[in-house]
């Protein structure tokens, strides 16, 4: 087994070797032997410097092992090398779109954190270390640890995501949105919290969640939601509006649908930008007086723009994109009001 450990430490272990090592190290006695072999290996490389302590390297290895125990299905391997030391992080993900993922482990409060990013225009799904299922809408990033600390399961969200949380009353599930957090035990809910939005919207499907405000002195509970209720947090004044009703409009993105229900023109434009990964050039006198209702699923952008032109006093003009650049740029669309 020492040979397999050495292979792992030198980043030469095959997947079969890794499975064998995982099975062997579960014993406390074997873990002690692993520490000894790892220490000897680290000491032999002392001439390269000691930029990373044995404890840190062992912490990374333990995080890898814990993550591997939870997920034995689809895996994404990324090797992080630091001054001749190597650690492998397994990132489980089930992708139903061609998603670009950023796996950026960082050490925070003795935990190793990953970040998943889904670009605008795409959607993705994966499973967290505790078994909680997550779906990410386009333009969203989620930070989470490779293992959850005792007492709280915390993640950080920017964008929109749907959570199906595994019940664990002794370890609440917390989604940190910056100014506020959503706290759950075992439940299903959607959060829309894009950067720059004036409202952060939590929509509860089942179970119960608490909406809390994050302050320097701790947390202040603002609202408690029941199924089919929403909490709309106003970023400008820090207040929450709670309402009940049909949540279909807010959950439709999970079925690749986009639903407008008497939405103002600026809101419609903002959602189309995120859905199709385009950029609109808006006039200074952009009005909120015009509202739009409609349901789309799979329609090309051109068709949606045609429908908007027929039903509102606006027109869209595609901007010519430069051809002398190797950087992929968003399509730019100019919006103008039709002449009366």
What is the DSSP secondary-structure string of 48-79? Answer: G--SS-HHHHHHHHHHHHHHHHH--SSEEEEE
Alpha helices in 186-292 (DSSP H): 248-251, 265-276
Q: How far apart are CA 210 and CA 231, in angstroms?
A: 9
Residue 125 sits in the same domain as residue 236: yes
Q: Which two tokens stand for residue 213?
A: 């405000």
Residue 126 falls inside a structural domain = yes
Residue 213 sits in the same domain as residue 280: no
Residue 202: CB atoms within 10 A of its CB come to: 26
Q: What is the pLDDT of residues 104-158, one digit of tens each?
A: 444 444 568 899 999 888 899 989 999 999 999 999 999 999 888 888 899 999 9
Q: What is the 3-state secondary structure (H, E, C) of 83-99?
A: CCEEEEEEEECECCCCC
Residue 97 sits in the same domain as residue 168: yes
Residue 272 sits in the same domain as residue 167: no
Residue 46 sits in the same domain as residue 127: no
Residue 77 falls inside a structural domain = no
Residue 233 sits in the same domain as residue 151: yes
Decide: helix, strand or coil at residue 80: strand
Spatial CB neighbours of 280, under 8 Å, sequence gap ≥ 6: 269, 272, 273, 332, 333, 334, 335
Domain finish residue from 196, 214, 248? 248
Name the band, by pLDDT with cuts 50, 70 and 90, for residue 18: low
| Largest distance between two CA atoms of the chain | 83
Q: What is the pLDDT of residues 277-315, one digit of tens each?
A: 999 998 877 766 788 899 999 899 999 999 988 888 888
Residue 318 sits in the same domain as residue 235: no
Residue 198 falls inside a structural domain = yes
Residue 266 sits in the same domain as residue 234: no
Q: Which two tokens stand for residue 96?
A: 């139903």
Domain finish residue from 219, 248, 277? 248
Q: What is the CATH number of the domain that holds 141?
A: 2.60.120.1440
What helix, strand, coil percent values describe the chain, rounded to 5? 25, 40, 35
Whether 21 shows a pLDDT value over 80: the answer reads: no
pLDDT on residue 247:
94
**What range defines the domain where residue 64 resides?**
2-69
Q: How far apart are CA 238 and CA 143, in angstroms?
A: 24
**How does 254-272 read in b/e, with b if 16+ C-beta sit within 10 Å?**
eeeebbbeebbbeebbbeb
For the chain, percent of residues with pLDDT exceeding 70: 65
Residue 74 falls inside a structural domain = no
Residue 58: CB atoms within 10 A of its CB come to: 17
Residue 81 falls inside a structural domain = no
Residue 101 sits in the same domain as residue 16: no
Spatial CB neighbours of 44, under 8 Å, sequence gap ≥ 6: none
Residue 49 falls inside a structural domain = yes
CB burial of residue 161 (10 Å; 0-12, 13-18, 19+): buried
Residue 62 sits in the same domain as residue 151: no
pTM tops 0.75: no
Residue 113 sits in the same domain as residue 180: yes
């Amino acid at each position: 087994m020492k040979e397999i450990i050495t292979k792992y430490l030198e980043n030469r272990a095959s997947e079969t070797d890794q499975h064998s090592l995982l099975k062997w190290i579960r014993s406390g006695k074997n873990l002690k032997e692993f520490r000894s072999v790892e220490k000897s290996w680290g000491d032999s490389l002392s001439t390269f410097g000691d930029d990373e302590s044995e404890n840190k390297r062992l912490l990374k290895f333990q995080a890898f092992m814990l993550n591997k125990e939870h997920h034995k299905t689809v895996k994404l391997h990324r090797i992080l090398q630091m001054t001749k030391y190597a650690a492998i992080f397994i990132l489980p993900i089930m992708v139903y779109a061609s998603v670009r993922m950023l796996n950026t482990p960082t050490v925070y409060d003795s935990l190793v954190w990953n970040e998943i990013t889904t670009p605008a225009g795409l959607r993705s799904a994966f499973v967290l270390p505790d078994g909680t299922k997550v779906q990410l809408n386009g333009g969203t990033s989620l930070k989470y640890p490779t293992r959850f600390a005792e007492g709280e399961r915390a993640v950080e969200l920017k964008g929109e995501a749907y959570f199906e949380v595994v019940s664990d009353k002794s370890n609440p599930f917390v989604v940190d949105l910056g100014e506020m957090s959503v706290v759950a035990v075992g439940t299903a809910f959607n959060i829309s919290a894009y950067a720059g939005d004036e409202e952060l919207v939590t929509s509860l499907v089942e179970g119960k969640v608490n909406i809390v405000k994050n302050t320097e002195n701790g947390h202040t509970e603002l609202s408690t939601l029941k199924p089919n209720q929403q909490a709309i947090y106003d970023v400008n004044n820090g207040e929450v509006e709670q309402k009940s009703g049909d949540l279909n409009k807010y959950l439709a993105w999970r079925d690749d649908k986009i639903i407008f229900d008497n939405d103002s023109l600026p809101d419609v434009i903002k959602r189309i930008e995120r859905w199709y990964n385009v950029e609109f050039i808006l006039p200074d006198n952009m009005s909120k007086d015009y509202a739009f209702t409609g349901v789309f699923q799979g329609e090309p952008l051109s068709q949606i723009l045609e429908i908007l032109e027929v039903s509102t006093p606006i027109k869209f003009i595609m901007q010519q994109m430069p051809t002398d650049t190797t950087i992929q740029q968003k399509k730019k669309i100019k919006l103008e009001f039709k002449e009366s």
